[in-house]
Amino acid sequence: MASVYDSIMTGLTEALEDAGSKDKKLKRRVVSVIPVKVYNADEIQDIRRKTGLSQKLFASYMGVSLKTVEAWEAGTNHPSGTASRILSMMEMDADLINNFPFVQI
């Protein structure tokens, strides 16, 4: 256990020393997150139809109620951030529901 602690402390010490020096030696990486897309009713319906799922199965896959999917597709409500991320993934990867089969037909 002491070796894990020592390793962590060594890494933290190196990071602090590097942050305080003018000559940066440690690698740095800038990470940016794409904003969550806001979906309209037609886009949601199009994504669902491309999956081949009924509203009921689509709701199960998304982890929401049938009424929620109906409201999305009617334009009454909009998906939350998490649901929008899943919709984005479905848009990018047509095989997502096959690769991650949470609903079995």
pLDDT tens for each residue of 53-80: 999 999 999 999 999 999 999 999 999 9
Joined together, the tokens standing for residue 29 give 């990486």
Sign of CA dihedral 42, 43, 48, 49: positive
Nearest to 49 by CA among 104, 16, 12, 90: 90
pTM: 0.70
